[in-house]
């Protein structure tokens, strides 16, 4: 595919070009920095560290000349979602309450990519504290979908998905609490990979809902996603939820075909109200393609799926209410302190003015469901439903290797279309929530386009620590199509 512009090449391709001396990290970095500036209207980046990136690129090129390359990711320009702490680079989580905050340390995942030789271009836009499905809740402006700038790139990792789709960087991190990696990947025609809870460290990731949050990569191809995850995954003693379990060679999974693999199709997902017929047809076509490649299709049932949304929107706000209590304007971020103000006045003014509407909505909801007299009726019951959802998946995986379904009910919707109706916005994640509640790995891979030329995503879900099976199935499907070779028409 030599006709593909350099900025739309995969990490695998540019890594080979670097090894063969056909390009340099400095050239790739300057290309990305130029495109970030040209396509600033997309609103993908919140901070750009151009000089730092140039220094890192120069170091990568010098290592390669000296025969000391750090591997496939050495010299590859990447970016991080603004939910991740980056030493010396502003980190705001998309919120005014953290405006101007510069962390004194790197998140573990930031350090791991840095140790792999990646070149950090900057930080990516997101919904405030990860609370949203369209990146319209950012305090620093909306992010636009490169396929249609009047539409959302999804959220909360909208800056991440838009940057990859537009060729502004070659790989990026996202965080996924209820679908925030997979949903924007589906809406932008990219590959989004949410690992098993505990597979990737959360140390240095600003918390939204601690039992649901997970960090993962967004990339152009399944192979790239595997390369990026390989560098991220692994035990971290700094994260109490990190699992001490060996990380397999994900590249090996890409070499296996899907003959004999059993793919489960959940009836409840395919019959979900609001599923766009074009999305359903594309997903059904993808499943048929897997069948032609040798996989067998098995119908499965996930009966408690219909309660996933209600359960999630009790548990996540409850945890957010607790996690966001630390933001008081006293330790970091700006403060609102009128003359003769009491401590309570400072709290109320700072939090009231600097938190966005959606964040305040979820804090109020979370505080309510945790309050005396309501805890058992709401939070306690939601946790019981969460257990039932996890058991549904356990039962399903007794007969299948992976589960296939839509990533989103529709393609990208217009900016402003759902901002006045929070419930409709929440339904954008109807197919992704249960994965987080059960702590499973999930991957979204492009599987077609609507008649309006908007991307559609196929979601694959796996057993706990079953990332290999997802990569195996997704890569086999991807290689049988050309969806990953299609890119938005940008100047």
Q: Which of 11, 411, 458, 68 is CA-nearest to residue 228?
A: 11
Rounded distance between C-alpha atoms, residue 5 and residue 488, angstroms: 12
Looking at 10, 15, 81, 434, which residue is catalytic? 81
Q: Which of 402, 404, 409 is CA-nearest to residue 456?
A: 409
* DSSP, residue by residue, 264-288: EEEHHHHT-TT--HHHHHHHHHHHH
Catalytic residue status for 340: no
Instruction: Name the DSSP letter for residue 95.
Output: -
* DSSP, residue by residue, 412-443: PPBTTSSTT-HHHHHGGGTTTHHHHHHT--EE
Catalytic residue status for 384: no
Question: 3-state class of 161 per DSSP?
Answer: helix
Write the CA distances from 323 to 51, 125, 128, integer angstroms. Answer: 34, 21, 14
Strands 262-266 and 402-406: parallel
CA angle 457, 416, 453 (to 5 degrees): 35
Which token pair is 380?
């306690």
Q: Which of 383, 376, 366 is CA-nearest to residue 304?
A: 383
Looking at 180, 201, 311, 434, which residue is catalytic? 180
Contact indicator for 132, 179 with CB cutoff of 8 Å: no
Write the CA distances from 85 to 151, 194, 442, 462, integer angstroms. Answer: 29, 19, 24, 29
Residues constituting the chain: 491
For the sheet with 402-406, list strands across it.
45-48, 119-124, 77-81, 171-175, 215-219, 191-194, 442-449, 455-462, 402-406, 262-266, 296-300
Return left, alpha or beta for 88; rule: phi > 0 is left, psi -120 to 50 is alpha, else beta: left
Q: Which of 164, 174, 157, 145 is CA-nearest to residue 10?
A: 164
Looking at 95, 138, 156, 321, which residue is catalytic? 156
Write the CA distances from 117 to 10, 15, 70, 74, 468, integer angstroms. Answer: 17, 12, 6, 4, 24
Catalytic residue status for 156: yes
**Cβ-based neighbours of 123, under 8 Å, separated by 6 or more:** 45, 46, 47, 79, 80, 81, 82, 86, 89, 90, 91, 92
- CB atoms under 10 Å from CB of 244, counted, come to 9
Question: 3-state class of 78 per DSSP?
Answer: strand
Contact indicator for 241, 382 with CB cutoff of 8 Å: no
**Residues forming the active site:** 81, 156, 180
């Amino acid at each position: 595919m030599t006709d593909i512009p350099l900025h739309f090449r995969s990490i695998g391709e540019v890594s080979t070009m670097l090894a063969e001396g056909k390009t340099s990290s400095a050239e790739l970095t300057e290309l990305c920095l130029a495109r970030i500036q040209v396509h600033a209207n997309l609103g993908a980046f919140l901070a750009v560290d151009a000089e730092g990136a140039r220094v890192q690129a120069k170091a990568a090129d010098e290592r390669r000349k000296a025969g000391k390359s750090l591997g496939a990711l050495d010299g590859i320009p990447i970016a991080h979602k603004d939910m991740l702490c980056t030493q010396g680079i502003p980190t705001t989580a998309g919120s005014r309450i953290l405006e101007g905050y510069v962390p004194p340390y790197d998140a573990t995942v930031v350090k791991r990519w840095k140790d792999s030789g990646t070149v950090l271009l900057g930080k990516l836009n997101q919904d405030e504290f990860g609370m949203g499905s369209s990146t319209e809740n950012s305090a620093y402006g909306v992010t636009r979908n490169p396929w249609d700038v009047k539409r959302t790139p999804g959220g909360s990792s909208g800056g991440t998905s838009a940057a990859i789709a537009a060729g502004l960087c070659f790989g990026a991190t996202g965080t996924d609490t209820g679908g925030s990696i997979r949903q924007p990947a589906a809406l932008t025609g990219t590959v989004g990979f949410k690992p098993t809870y505990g597979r990737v460290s959360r140390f240095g990731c600003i918390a939204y809902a601690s039992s649901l949050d997970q960090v993962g990569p967004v990339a152009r191809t399944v192979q790239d996603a595997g390369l990026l995850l390989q560098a991220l995954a692994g035990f971290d003693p700094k994260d109490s939820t990190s699992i001490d379990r060996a990380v397999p060679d994900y590249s090996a999974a890409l070499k296996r075909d899907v003959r004999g693999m059993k793919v489960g199709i959940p009836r409840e997902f395919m019959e979900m109200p609001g599923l766009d017929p074009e999305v359903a047809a594309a997903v059904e076509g993808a499943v048929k393609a897997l069948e032609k490649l040798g996989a067998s299709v098995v119908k499965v049932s996930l009966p408690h799926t219909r309660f996933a949304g209600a359960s999630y929107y009790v548990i996540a706000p409850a945890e957010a209410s607790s996690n966001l209590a630390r933001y008081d304007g006293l330790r970091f971020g700006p403060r609102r302190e009128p003359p003769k103000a009491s401590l309570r006045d400072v709290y109320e003014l700072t939090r009231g003015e600097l938190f966005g509407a959606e964040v305040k909505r979820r804090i109020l909801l979370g505080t309510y469901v945790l309050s005396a007299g309501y805890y058992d009726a709401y939070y306690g019951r939601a946790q019981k439903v969460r257990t039932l959802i996890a058991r549904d998946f356990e039962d399903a995986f007794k007969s299948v290797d992976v589960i296939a379904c839509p990533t989103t009910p529709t393609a990208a919707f217009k900016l402003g279309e759902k901002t006045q109706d929070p419930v409709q916005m929440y339904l954008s994640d109807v197919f992704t929530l249960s994965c987080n509640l059960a702590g499973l790995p999930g991957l979204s891979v492009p599987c077609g386009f609507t008649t309006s030329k908007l991307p559609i995503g196929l979601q694959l879900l796996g057993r706990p620590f079953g990332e290999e099976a997802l990569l195996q199935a997704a890569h086999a499907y991807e290689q049988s199509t050309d969806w990953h070779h299609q890119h938005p028409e940008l100047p």
